Amino acid sequence: MKQISKKVRFNWKIVIYLLLAVVLIYVLFPILWMIITSLKSEQEALLIPPTWFPKKITTFGFRYMWQMKPFLIYFKNSLLTAGPTAIFSTLFGGLAAYSVSRFRFPLRKFFMGFVLCTQMIPGVLLVGPYFKVLNKFQLYDTHLALILGYTAVALPFCTWMLKGYFDSIPRELDEATLVDGCTKFTAFFKVILPLSFPGIVATGVFSFLLAWGDLLWALCLTSSESMSTVTLGIANSVGEYRVVWPALMAAALIACVPSIVFYSFLQKYIVSGMTKGGVKG
Amino acid sequence: MFKKSMIFVLLIILCFSSVASSAKTVVRFQDWHMTEDVWLKCLKEVKADYEKLHPEVEIRFEPVAHKDKSNKFIIASEAKNAPDVVHCEIQDIPPYIAKGYLLNLNDLIEKEDKNFLDQWADGPKQICNYYGQMRAMPDNAQSIVLFYNPRLFKQAGLDPNKPPTTWEEFREYAKKLTNGKDQWGFGMVANKSASLISRFFPILWSFGGDIFNEDMTKSKLDSPESIEAFEFFVDLYIKDGVTPPAPNEMSAQDVRTYFSQEKVAMQFGSGFTISIVDQLNPSLKAPEVLKCAPLPVGKNKVTFSQMDFWGISANTKVKEEAWEFVKYLTSKEVQTKFFIDNGVTSARIDVGESELIKNNKFGNVISEQIPYGKAMPMFIGMNEVNDAIIIATQEALTKQKTPEAALKDASAKVNSIIARYK
Amino acid sequence: MRFSLSDKLLAYLLLLPAALVLFFVLLFPMVSTLLTSFGIELNNFNFTFDNYVRLFKDPEFWNSFKNTLIFVPISVIGDLVLGLSVALLLNQKIKGRKFFRVLVLLPWMIPSVVTGATWRWMYNPISGIINSILLRVGLIEEPVLWLSSKSIALFSIIMANIWRGFPYVMLIMLTGLQSIDSDIYEAGTIDGVNSWQKFIYLTLPNLKKNIIVVLALTTVWEFRQIDLVKTMTGGGPGSLTEVLVSFVFKQYFEFFQFDYASAIAVIMSVLMLIISIPYIKGILAD
């Protein structure tokens, strides 16, 4: 009996690995191709038909990108917009989600619907009028303009996601703290926040990446090179007359590094499962 | 502690430096060329020279990728916060003028010499002229010509000194230069871009076809001549197979890449072509090896006038300074520099017809063809017309429709566009 | 010292920061879009339905409408299926899962402009790596025209789109899976149910809320997705891959038809609203 179950488990693992392999090829092949390309020389990257591996590995792409573009400034700008965006949208979204999740009030449905609706107008049409608003407040070409814009785009997603997470926390728990003499507001910080931490982190990662990867708003709402974000800087290097593929790929890969670091750092919170221990009543 | 105070000092210096720079008048300058390194180097030199001449002015670069250039300018102009000096292509001019994005330069020009405008060729000047108002200044004026690879000509048994002179000959040459595997006679650009327009219109005109009738009240795309031209163009791929597969995915840059690797023997291009091809594959030695010739001739001898312009934003706050800078950009000195660095031929007569260009193997052909150049029609809905033609071309190339049906559909669309703008 | 606010007031106060940001950024653009679509300008209050009439007669609009109705559902379902499967896989105790969890998120971290440019290049018949490998391996004899064949162009873009979109779903699903009590599974193991039954009867119901959220958000998200279409085909060949949002983009930025673009956007929003009503009901059901 024991042996059979072991066997079954063993086969299951093979299936998992096989599936994982297929998915990994689909997921990783383009990334692998980007890495390979980034290590080629400019001329080799353009060869027809393409070479599968670099004939001669070179760091040309990385050097070129670094020399041609003020990447440190780009990174600074991206961090200064994506970081606050992640914080603000998660915080504001969290508060709103808590309200919708734990209180019953007439505008509840309307608010959740409205929040989703704000996302339905394509960014193309938002960016023009928003520009006029920014002019009124003298915010054009500032980080704040981008932070506010991205927060508004990310907020609905954050609210919806966090509402889902908060709902999964049993209501008895925060009621218990209420009995202990806390206000609903402190219950939020003492119970809900720690318990839904994985969700909050996931939401933060989401908003961070949204702001990091955006092009249209950064393109239209900044003017000087000193305000340019990483994504905009990269988009600008897809020139009309020349695409330096190795450098473009190198830049795209480097642009991922902060996100990877950010995510790896937070990953343990997402997957730790530490939060569940105390929940069972 | 030391570190902290260092940072503090640095911050103060930064503050002061920004104060110092803000004392200058800033002229915001948008040009897609700033995202291309050869051009960027050239423009940076121009900027440095200009700032030396005018120490009270700071030229602030606002780089933007070519594909995003009008998006950005539209949004900024709608919000009345656009860059002061902007580089435009010919198809941008009518809508920018119609939307009121570009400043009327008349009173600025009046302050100049009486003969100030005489230095520019009439063709480009006419484009800028909107009911007597100059709304932009001409930058370069070029013509589309045929670039070919004499080495591949020789291999195919063709005389490298006798490029094709008629379209039929062109097709025969292209067939001979195609091996069906990894070499093609002609590099067709048919992706969604104005590059297709500038490379197809000459054929259309040459066959006697046209986009509009003379008073621009009706489409002429459904005329037999237009259809013949369109079928000739599309069949280069569908029937003759002389162009690499999926031309509808090929950008001008893709074609130049094929050309630089000798996978394609002939392509259409202009002044900018050689320096890019040289960069794509230096081992080809493009400036020495490659040659160019006038486009083949059909019923008419005609080519496409490729032109760029400098505009000043209508809501600029530094009108005078922006004008000074535009004058500098269009000066003989800078225009000559543009030719030397990047191969584009100037709309200025004293540069475009100078010995320098006449003695250049490519510049010579390009400038000689300028009199045969025909510009894109100045119609406010031209972008929509172009889009209809691009869609028709792609539909025919991917066999969604027959060439005739595709072009007739485009013609109907063009008629409704004309009707809408009446 | 504790002052008690009425619950209702507190509830509204909690909504306030979010509402303020949304109003500041989006209220004016939304109102302006709506007004523009009716041809109303600041100095001209004339009201017209022309843009809507034109839209219903425009075959290009209906074409992009149809393409959107293919593009969005397939992308959303693809995102969900792939995201959920990968989340389930990476929730197993396998070697190197931490590493893989970072790796599969990469597609999401790469700017979509680069994603589009890279996939377009990989799909190229001559210079693309996909055809190059398939030809060398012998799976095909002629290069496949991924982005130029009538039957597959849109699906080629969807492939790239799912590649880009699924990591986000995976992340949400992973956090959802983490919050399911392992006790439930242990109870299941004792009862002798197989893995499939476990998935259907234990995992899925527990993920219900997450799935609703993901469906709602990816639907809206994919409707707005424009970078890939723009960079890969620009809507071509012909208008085979034109979707609503790229059509809006074209009308606005290339044709300067601000009012017409706004009308399309309004219709698009109404469409999205109708689609998302069940989601809104789902997320608010207790």
Structural tokens at position C242? 């034109």
Query: Which residue on chain B is closest to C117 by alpha carbon?
Result: B249
| CA neighbor of C239 nearest in space, from C223, C253, C255, C250 | C250
Tell me how many residue pairs between chain A and chain C have CB atoms under 8 A apart.
288
pLDDT of residue A8: 53
Block residue for tokens 């000689």: B368
Q: Which CATH number fits domain B145-305+376-421: 3.40.190.10, 3.90.1150.10, 3.40.50.300, 3.30.70.1060?
A: 3.40.190.10
Residue A2 has pLDDT above 60, yes or no: no
First to last CA, chain B: 72
pLDDT of residue C113: 85
Among C156, C255, C257, C262, most B C-beta atoms within 10 A, so best to mutate, is: C255
Structural tokens at position A211? 């702001």
Tell me how many residue pairs between chain A and chain B have CB atoms under 8 A apart.
91
Beta-bridge partner residues of B61? B29
State whether residue B249 sits within 8 Å of chain C by CB: yes
Question: According to CATH, what is the number of the domain A69-236?
Answer: 1.10.3720.10
In B, which residues are within 8 Å of A131 by CB distance? 75-76, 78-79, 81
In A, which residues are within 8 Å of C2 by CB distance? 183
- Cis-peptide into A129, omega within 30 deg: no
Distance from CA of B182 to the nearest CA of C (A): 9
SS3 B28: strand
**For chain B, where do the domains classified as CATH 3.40.190.10 start and end?**
24-141+307-365, 145-305+376-421
| CA neighbor of B211 nearest in space, from B360, B384, B66, B356 | B384
- Cis-peptide into A49, omega within 30 deg: yes
Q: Using CB atoms, which residue from B32, B68, B79 is nearest to A132?
A: B79
Rounded Cα–Cα distance for residues C83 and C167 (Å): 6
Q: What is the pLDDT of residues C177-219, one digit of tens each?
A: 877 766 666 665 666 667 777 777 778 887 887 888 888 889 9
Q: What is the pLDDT of residues C72-109, one digit of tens each?
A: 999 999 999 999 988 888 887 777 777 888 888 889 88
Kind of pairing, strands B303-312 and B85-89? antiparallel
List the 106-135 stretch of A: residues with Cβ below 8 A of B.
Answer: 127-128, 131-132, 134-135
Domains of chain C plus CATH, in order, are 1-48 (no CATH), 59-114+150-284 (1.10.3720.10)
Residue of A15 and C135 predicted with greater confidence = C135
Residue B143 contacts residue B303 (beta carbons within 8 Å):
yes
Rounded Cα–Cα distance for residues C149 and C241 (Å): 11
Distance from CA of C6 to the nearest CA of A (A): 11
State whether residue C116 sits within 8 Å of chain B by CB: no
Rounded Cα–Cα distance for residues B295 and B165 (Å): 7
pLDDT of residue B401: 94
Record: contact A243-B253, CB cut-off 8 A? yes
Residue C111 contacts residue A231 (beta carbons within 8 Å):
yes
Rounded Cα–Cα distance for residues C192 and A1 (Å): 12
* Residue B381 CB partners (closer than 8 Å, separation 6+): B417, B418, B420, B421, C255
Residue A64 contacts residue A127 (beta carbons within 8 Å):
no
State whether residue A213 sits within 8 Å of chain C by CB: yes
State whether residue C129 sits within 8 Å of chain A by CB: yes
Record: contact A240-B61, CB cut-off 8 A? no
Query: Which residue on chain B is closest to A219 by alpha carbon?
Result: B72
Record: contact B62-A224, CB cut-off 8 A? yes
Structural tokens at position B12? 């103060």
Q: What is the pLDDT of residues A144-178, one digit of tens each?
A: 999 999 999 999 889 988 888 888 788 787 777 77
List the 127-146 stretch of C: residues with Cβ below 8 A of B.
Answer: 127, 143, 145
Domain boundaries of chain A, sorted by first residue: 2-60, 69-236
Record: contact B81-A240, CB cut-off 8 A? no
- Mean pLDDT, residues A23-37: 89
List all chains that touch chain A, counting a touch as 3 or more CB pairs closer than 8 Å.
B, C
Among C4, C31, C97, C175, most A C-beta atoms within 10 A, so best to mutate, is: C175
Beta-bridge partner residues of C103? none
Residue of A88 and A280 predicted with greater confidence = A88
Q: Using CB atoms, which residue from A43, A131, A225 is nearest to B79?
A: A131
Rounded Cα–Cα distance for residues B36 and B66 (Å): 10
Kind of pairing, strands B145-148 and B137-143? unpaired
Question: According to CATH, what is the number of the domain B24-141+307-365?
Answer: 3.40.190.10
Residue A4 has pLDDT above 60, yes or no: no
Structural tokens at position C24? 């500041």
Among C126, C141, C230, most B C-beta atoms within 10 A, so best to mutate, is: C126
Q: Which ranges constitute the DSSP H helices of A69-142?
A: 71-102, 108-117, 123-136
Residue of C245 and A276 predicted with greater confidence = C245
| CA neighbor of B325 nearest in space, from B4, B127, B31, B93 | B31
- Cis-peptide into C237, omega within 30 deg: yes
Q: Using CB atoms, which residue from A140, A220, A239 is nearest to B36?
A: A239
Kind of pairing, strands B291-293 and B145-148? antiparallel
Residue A122 has pLDDT above 70, yes or no: yes
Rounded Cα–Cα distance for residues B290 and B278 (Å): 10
Distance from CA of A258 to the nearest CA of C (A): 10
Query: Which residue on chain B is closest to A223 by alpha carbon?
Result: B62
Of all residues in chain A, the percent with pLDDT exceeding 90 is: 22
Record: contact A183-C4, CB cut-off 8 A? yes
Q: What ipTM was assigned to the predicted interfaces of this complex?
A: 0.89
- B58 dihedral zone (left: phi>0; alpha: psi -120 to 50; beta): beta
In C, which residues are within 8 Å of B390 by CB distance? 236
pLDDT of residue C213: 84
Report the Cα C87 to chain-centroid distance in Å: 18
Q: What is the pLDDT of residues A247-262, one digit of tens each?
A: 889 998 888 888 888 8
- pLDDT truncated to tens, each residue of chain B (422 aa)? 444 555 554 454 444 444 445 578 999 999 999 888 788 899 999 999 999 999 999 999 998 988 889 999 999 999 899 999 999 999 999 999 999 999 999 999 999 998 999 999 898 999 999 999 999 999 999 999 999 999 999 999 999 999 999 999 999 999 999 997 889 999 999 999 999 999 999 999 999 999 999 999 999 999 999 999 999 999 999 999 999 999 999 999 899 999 999 999 999 999 889 988 988 889 999 999 999 999 999 999 999 998 999 999 999 999 999 999 999 999 999 999 999 988 899 999 988 888 888 899 999 999 899 999 999 999 999 999 999 999 999 999 999 999 999 999 999 999 999 999 98
Q: What is the DSSP letter of B146?
A: E
pLDDT of residue C242: 95
Rounded Cα–Cα distance for residues B49 and B24 (Å): 16
State whether residue C259 sits within 8 Å of chain B by CB: no
* Residue A75 CB partners (closer than 8 Å, separation 6+): A230, A258
SS3 A180: coil
List all chains that touch chain C, counting a touch as 3 or more CB pairs closer than 8 Å.
A, B
| CA neighbor of B139 nearest in space, from B325, B360, B362, B385 | B325
pLDDT of residue C183: 64
Rounded Cα–Cα distance for residues A275 and B268 (Å): 66
Record: contact A96-C181, CB cut-off 8 A? no
Residue C274 contacts residue C281 (beta carbons within 8 Å):
no
pLDDT of residue A255: 87
Lowest mean per-residue pLDDT among A6-15, A210-219, C49-58, C223-232: A6-15
Record: contact B398-C237, CB cut-off 8 A? yes
State whether residue A149 sits within 8 Å of chain C by CB: yes
Q: Using CB atoms, which residue from A91, A108, A230 is nearest to C284?
A: A108
* Residue C25 CB partners (closer than 8 Å, separation 6+): A126, A130, A133, A148, A149, A151, A152
Q: Using CB atoms, which residue from B99, B182, B394 is nearest to C236?
A: B394
